[in-house]
Amino acid sequence: MPLAMNNDLKNQIEAKIDELYHLANDNKALILTEVDLQCQLYMKLSEINLLNDISETNDGFTTNKIHTEISWYSDNNRDRLSIRPDITLLKPENLRITTRFNGTPLPSKGLESIDGGIIFELKYDRNLQTISEKTFAGIVKDIQSYETIYNRFQMNGIGHLIYGYFVLFIKSTPSEVNMQKINRIHHEFEIRNLNENNCKFIYHFIDVNINVAL
């Protein structure tokens, strides 16, 4: 079964994201940067047996299913590797690291996969007052990138092979202003016809109260 269609796996992934939120909420200095969030989520995903088992790639090399910073083509001509999600889940049997599946040389990213898999775009907003416009703009860019990937798969009749998670951890509180920005993010998905059939937006407020430290 393709990873993107495995609902049991998705449930486990979402449970691990929730576990990470509770861990970060209890230890509010656990995540200091976006890379921290990436590393912490990688460790949580590694606790899922289906993702952390070792198996062979199509050309006979062993790996698991969790990878970071893998480049994706931004168009159907397969000549621009300009999209790089934070985490990508791929089935090893659909992956080659020596040549393409047709025997031709690999692209510059050093691998070829015929599996859409599951991709994660992560954001950590460190502003103590409100979700920053920089974070909002970054999320919109991530949504646009995923829309590009999904539409390319969909046009080729394999939209079911790709699924995306957008995970936002927010250092501040769920204020009215912040919830307005969350609604703006939801709107960005809606106008692109992206929904839980093809991706999911998950956000958590760490709720660092600046008054406690004063």
Strands 117-125, 162-170: pairing is: parallel
- pLDDT for position 115: 80
CB neighbours (10 Å) of residue 16?
18
- pLDDT for position 212: 53
pLDDT digits (tens, 9 = 90+) for 153-203: 898 899 999 999 999 999 999 999 999 999 999 999 999 999 999 999 999
Distance in angstroms (rounded) separating the CA atoms of residues 132 and 157:
37
What are the extents of the domains in the chain? 1-122+151-164+199-214
- pLDDT for position 78: 57
- pLDDT for position 72: 79
- pLDDT for position 77: 53
- pLDDT for position 135: 96
Dihedral in degrees, nearest 10, Cα atoms 161, 42, 105, 4: 0
- pLDDT for position 214: 45
> Are the beta carbons of 102 and 137 closer than 8 angstroms?
no
Question: Mutual orientation of helices 133-155 and 176-191 as an angle, nearest 10°?
Answer: 20
- pLDDT for position 118: 97
Coil, helix or strand for 166? strand
- pLDDT for position 209: 76
- pLDDT for position 81: 64
- pLDDT for position 110: 86
Distance in angstroms (rounded) separating the CA atoms of residues 136 and 114:
32
User: Residue ranges of the chain with pLDDT lower than 70?
Assistant: 74-81, 210-214
DSSP 124-143: EE--SSS--HHHHHHHHHHH
**pTM exceeding 0.95:** no
